[in-house]
Amino acid sequence: FVWDLRPTLVRAGLDAHRIEDGAHIVSFIFVLLCLGTVVRHGAFRFIGLRQILAAPARTDAMGAFVDPGAAPRPVLLTTGIYGVVRHPMYMYLLAAVVVRPALSLDLGVWFVCAVAFLLVALPLEEEKLIAIFGDAYREYRRRTPAFVPFWPARLTLAARKG
């Protein structure tokens, strides 16, 4: 194990079976929330099937079907979970690992790789969103943490200035 908090939690008076059951349930809920986010944004577009199956003239840069005569504009979501974090899907996946009282080596390696991926991919994704939404996204990014809810704004702003 990379970490095992079960003995400490048992010493604190918690039932070992409830710890295991609760951790699995909470982890599963985070995975379901992640899947719900994928479905909300269109699962076929998310996995690339929509872009593959559609004619290029019928989709925009985001993979959404468009009317050739209209000039569509993607909508910036800033309410609901998007009012709490900018990237809820990443938050759900990382939280599904972190809430477990025991973390095996294979899951620990997956977690480290996921964090490394986010360190590379998140700035690229943010650049793309700024290119699409401009100042509206910059303002949203200024006031909303990436994927740690309620992260102090002063820390986020200080990191961007430094």
| pTM score of the predicted model | 0.66
pLDDT value, residue 103: 83
| Average pLDDT value for residue range 55-63 | 62
pLDDT value, residue 47: 64
User: Following DSSP, what letter does each residue of the chain receive, concatenated?
Assistant: --EE-HHHHHHTT--HHHHHHHHHHHHHHHHHHHHHHHHHT-HHHHHTHHHHHS-GGGB-TTS-B--TTS--------SGGGGT-S-HHHHHHHHHHHT-SEE-HHHHHHHHHHHHHHHHHHHHHHHHHHHHHTHHHHHHHHHS-SSSTT--HHHHHHHHH-
The model's pLDDT over 78-120, given as tens digits with 9 standing for 90+, comes to 998 899 999 998 888 888 888 888 888 888 898 999 999 999 9
- pLDDT above 90 covers a percentage of the chain that reads 20
pLDDT band at 44 (very low <50, low <70, confident <90, very high): low
pLDDT value, residue 113: 92
